Amino acid sequence: MAKFSWRKAAVVAAVVPLVALSACSSQGGKPADSGGGAGAGQAASTARIKVALITHAAAGDTFWDIVRKGAEEASSKDNVELLYTSDPEAGRQAQLVQQAIDQKVDGIAVTLATPDALKDVLKKATAAGIPVVSLNAGESVSSQLGAFTHFGSNEQLAGEAVGTRLAAEGYKHPVCVIQQQGHVGLEARCAGVKAKVPATEILYVDGKDMTAVQSTATAKLQASKDADVIIGLGAPITLTLLKSVTDASSSAKVASFDLNADLAQKIVDGQVIFTVDQQPWLQGYMSVDALWQAKRGGFKIGGGQPVLTGPTIVDKANAADVLKFAQQGVR
């Protein structure tokens, strides 16, 4: 698949061979240990270490299932006990980081959707000698908060890539739907779109309530007759926006960020014009593997710079191939 070129260099990390999955859970913010080495494959012979992966995942968002799969596979290969927890509320996510510090983990991988809420507790982590990497959100502030690298997409540039494509295809009045106000990555995506298509409107919805998402987007499309494309910033949101377009009897097309198997199928079927994939499986895998590499040899992947895992445009031309991987849960 073709990728956009970037204004700044991306660091390329090699991904080691993949082996069997191990189990972990994010239910109720409670960690579950990964078994490590279950099924086919051989775990590393290095001493077993404990890594915490702490995200801002909301219940039911399939994007995070893919992140977690990547992290589980790396933990199995690397002989890592993986503690996965999540909470979309910033203060509670900070509490989960503190919990990991209290557990004396050997490394922390954390998303930085709301960096101000996490900066103090991450200072405690680095003061305790715990190496930190960030993933998915917060690339621009990652190093300031003590992470030695970040795995994810540059969201501003990803948004600009979307805006450039929409402008080239003649769209003039996008509606960009943000499901969590204040999330730095989501805000950057829509800002990037607006930078290339100035008439872009921002619509805030409550991503925890899909019924409300559908009704709010329907009302917006009914009121904005000139809206010619509506953009979801996550696969579940975008799939809901398809219903809103129908409910509003709107002629607006639908575009997206992120990916799951259902969304890939909608692109194959021509119902979604394209999405921008940031390859979340890699984000989970590389975050755990980077912490293991730091522990085993003091290696610091990225050389102090973010490691970009995207964006990649998925459209009608390549969606069928991507769908095969999405159905396996690795895209």
The pLDDT assigned to 328 comes to: 78
The pLDDT assigned to 20 comes to: 30
Q: Which residues contact 325 (CB under 8 A, 6 or more apart)?
A: 331
pLDDT in tens, 164-177: 999 999 999 999 99
**pTM reported for the whole predicted model:** 0.77
Q: Where in the chain are the domains? A: 27-152+280-309, 155-277
Pairing of strands 312-315, 307-310: unpaired
How many helices (H) and strands (E) the chain has is answered by: 10, 12
- Continuous segment of H or E residues that includes residue 176: strand 174-178
Tell me, rounded to whole angstroms, the distance of Cα 145 from its chain centroid: 19
What's the rounded Cα separation, in Å, for the pair 187 and 257? 13
The pLDDT assigned to 30 comes to: 42
* CATH H superfamily, domain 27-152+280-309: Response regulator (3.40.50.2300)
The one-digit pLDDT tens for each residue of the chain (331 residues) are 444 443 333 443 333 332 333 334 333 344 444 433 333 457 788 999 999 999 999 887 888 999 999 999 999 999 999 999 999 999 999 999 999 999 999 999 999 999 999 999 999 999 999 999 999 999 989 999 999 999 999 999 999 999 999 999 999 999 999 998 889 899 999 999 999 999 999 999 999 899 999 999 999 999 999 999 999 999 999 999 999 999 999 999 999 999 999 999 999 999 999 999 999 999 999 999 999 999 999 999 988 889 999 888 999 999 999 998 888 777 7
Q: Are 68 and 11 spatial neighbours (Cβ–Cβ below 8 Å)?
A: no
DSSP track, 190-216: HHHHHHHSTT-EEEE--TT-HHHHHHH
27-152+280-309 and 155-277 share one fold: yes
Structure tokens at 36: 């490590």
Q: Are 74 and 286 spatial neighbours (Cβ–Cβ below 8 Å)?
A: yes
CATH of region 155-277, choose from 3.20.20.70, 3.60.21.10, 3.40.50.2300, 3.40.50.300? 3.40.50.2300
CA angle 176, 197, 323 (to 5 degrees): 55
Nearest to 97 by CA among 130, 122, 64, 71: 122
Burial of 127 (0-12, 13-18, 19+ CB in 10 A): exposed
